Structure 1
Amino acid sequence: MSGTWRRFGSYEVLTLHDGIFEAPLDVLVHAGGQAARDEAVARWGKPKISIPVNCFALKNADGITLVDAGTGPSWGEAMGHAPAAMASAGIAPEQVERVLITHLHGDHALGLFDGDRARFANAEIIVPEADLAFFGEEANRAQTPQNRQGGFAVAAAVTKHYAGRIRPVPVGTVRPGIALIPLPGHTFGHSGYLIEGEESLLLWGDALHLSDLQAFDPDVGLVYDFDATTAVASRRAILERAAHEGWLVSGGHIEGFRRVNESGSGYELIPA
């Protein structure tokens, strides 16, 4: 299912819903330790994690750009619906000119593939250079916990199926009106993309997975974070910056577009 196009700068932006990801509460951690984690979970009051998986379509005079690509068929029937959402919006895979990847996790990048081939025959794949450099170097696997090694397989598949069409990008402008914002911690090179305009939109990947719980207490993390301490620092910094700048935000696991407001020692994400 697709929603409604909304303008930010020179781009019309559409959320593409890929599915729902569910996980038990034991994937939650807290920078303050077990007692702080248990208190946060009790206060939250939910029996499990159930969050949307999103990617985004952008269109302007330069054609169609995606930010992330969903899971494809790799994560079961609850996900992999972004291609249907694209079709509903009238976007054919061959129309996609480029895909901006926030980081090389499966729920953001496996949708680049349709079985053993590239899904987007004409697209350039833009990847944060720090993420591709890390996951593209097999020697780094030995220093990576086994439950966080999925990015190596994703990087290898991108390199194989999009050979000659991959552009690693540093911090700063990656397209006219779009800037890469580094948000390390969830992965080594995890990043967001800021669509600049009179009203700007930050698509922040996985800076937050749980919009209510982690905004209220940014010290809450998930075991999927590569470096939990750095992820907390990035989360706090980007919440503060988005609130100060007045940016709207969304991401891989945020419902709709949100405005960030300060609230006590934390923040709130208000539907915008």
Structure 2
Amino acid sequence: MPQLSRRAFAGGLPLGFVGGSLLGGGLLGGSLLDGATAPALAASPAPGTPVSVTPLAQIKIGRFTVTALTDGYADMPYTFFPGRSAAQVEQAATAQFTARTSGVRFLFNQYLVEDGERRILIDAGPAGSIGQTGALPQALATLGVERDQIDAVIVTHMHQDHMGGLILDGKNNYPKAELFIDRRDVTHWTDPAKRNGAPDYLQTSFRMADEIVRLYPKLQAIDGEREIARGVSIVDLAGHTPGHIGVRIEDGGQSLIMVSDMIFPVVHPAATDVFFLFEQDQAAAKAMRDTFYPRAAAEGALIAATHMPFPGLGHVVNDRGTMRWQVADWALQN
């Protein structure tokens, strides 16, 4: 786990918000599951249909403007959370008003980071490969930004819901962008032996990874923590995947850390022994969360999380020994 200073985790920043919903997380109790099967995601709304609204939320981090965008949503079956029974997950989701007939509602949040000199996009969304998604280009256009105006894309890890937009329709959709992905993930997801031994529900991620390597000559497979641009740096959060990373935005004594899939709705941050089906190394994922959540709570980290209800901004709070998700305070900016 990287050393994350208090300065790197300044919280309580104002948020300008239009659209979406702000819902909290919670905890789960009960016995462990021995495993979980992978029902098809067809239980979600038909893939490929973009959402009809374009919610945006902006936050200032020193000289940076960070805009929360969303590519859409999907409902993840209650059986997708090894560590608790489907009934336990559904009960917790119902208590938090996030339950749907077909599962837990997952958002796919992306974040555009601008400082007047560079535009950096964090993740590119599933782009219609899962659920009701494909809205990111529309969201960018609402800001007056086209995909060929993005200078860099940071992919937090190589699951399909974080990189599908890069290769939609079999082409390079961010032609002028440098692409940053942790080398451990590039190595894993382009390994034919790993692909041959993987379950069906991971095959799309393997296929997309091969396409990204082919279509993006500016791909930089990065090693460890480093600064991508002044005030934009990589944080090692490996566990969810071998090269899972976060992104810290920091300037003027303020900061935000985008933690990607460190936090899932309903089950986190209270229960680190609950996983998501796509995590191959549950022990590593649990170890990272066991380390990260208490530290983030102690340091008052302002966090952005991919799958939490839009705009995905909040804090991990230690509530009398139980970790919980606290939605960030927000107010319209002048």
Same-fold status (TM-score > 0.5):
yes
Q: Give the deviation of 1:16 after TM superposition.
A: 0.9
Match of 1:112 in 2: 166
Deviation of 1:136 (Å)? 2.1
Higher helix share goes to which structure? 1
Give the deviation of 1:243 after TM superposition: 1.5
**Residue identity in the other structure for 1:259:** H
Of 210, 219, 237 in structure 2, the residue corresponding to residue 156 of structure 1 is: 210
**AA partner of residue 225 (structure 1):** E
Question: What does residue 12 of structure 1 align with?
Answer: 65
Question: 1:271 — aligned with what?
Answer: 327
Q: Distance in 2 between matches of 1:270 and 1:169?
A: 32
> Residue 74 of structure 1: SS of its match in structure 2?
coil
Q: 1:62 pairs with 99, 109, 117, which one? A: 117
Structure-1 separation of matches of 2:321 and 2:190: 39
Partner in structure 2 of residue 260 of structure 1: 316
Distance 2:223 2:295 in 1: 20
Alignment partner, residue 171 of structure 1: 224
C-alpha distance after superposition, 1:204-243 (max 9, x if no partner)? 1111121x43122222211111211211221222222222
Name which of 243, 259, 262 aligns with 1:189. Answer: 243
Distance across 2 between alignment mates of 1:186 and 1:238: 13
Separation in 1 of the partners of 2:168 and 2:78?
A: 32
Q: Which runs of 5+ in 2 are unaligned?
A: 1-53, 329-334
Runs (4+) off by over 6 Å: none
Contact 1:22 1:49 in 2 (8 A): yes
- How many angstroms does 1:143 deviate by? 4.2
Summarize deviations over 1:9-68 as a string: whole Å, max 9, x none.
Answer: 4321001111111122111111xx75xx75565344345211211111110133211000
Q: Equivalents in 2 of 1:161, 1:200: separation in Å?
A: 33
Q: Which SS does the other structure have where 1:42 is aligned?
A: helix
1:236 aligns with 2:290: yes
> Contact between 1:2 and 1:89, CA under 8 Å: does it hold in 2?
no
> Matches of 2:159 and 2:69 in 1, distance apart?
17
**Structure-2 separation of matches of 1:99 and 1:209:** 23
**Mapping 1:197-212, distance limit 5 Å:** 197=251, 198-210=253-265, 212=266
Change (3 A) 1:43 1:160: closer
The alignment's TM-score, normalised by the length of structure 2, stands at: 0.74
- 2:134 paired residue number: 80
2:78/2:87 contact within 8 Å kept:
no
Distance (whole Å) between structure 1 residues aligned to residue 137 and residue 110 of structure 2 = 10
Aligned pairs (5 A) from 1:204-223:
204-210=259-265, 212-223=266-277
**Separation of aligned partners in 1, 2:188 and 2:233:** 21
State the AA in 1 paired with 2:279: D
Distance 2:221 2:113 in 1: 20
Whole-Å Cα distance in 2 between the matches of residues 235 and 59 of structure 1? Answer: 29
Match of 2:147 in 1: 93
Of structures 1 and 2, the one with the larger relative CO (CA 8 A, separation 6+) is 2
1:167-211: per-residue Cα shift (whole Å, max 9, x none)? 11122223221222222222111111111232221111111121x
Cα shift at 1:123? 0.6
TM-score, with structure 1 as normaliser: 0.89
Q: For 2:196 and 2:170, how far apart are their aligned partners in 1?
A: 27
Q: Distance in 2 between matches of 1:19 and 1:49?
A: 14
Q: 3-state SS of the aligned residue for 2:238?
A: coil
User: Secondary structure of 2:235's match?
Assistant: strand
- Give the total of aligned pairs: 265
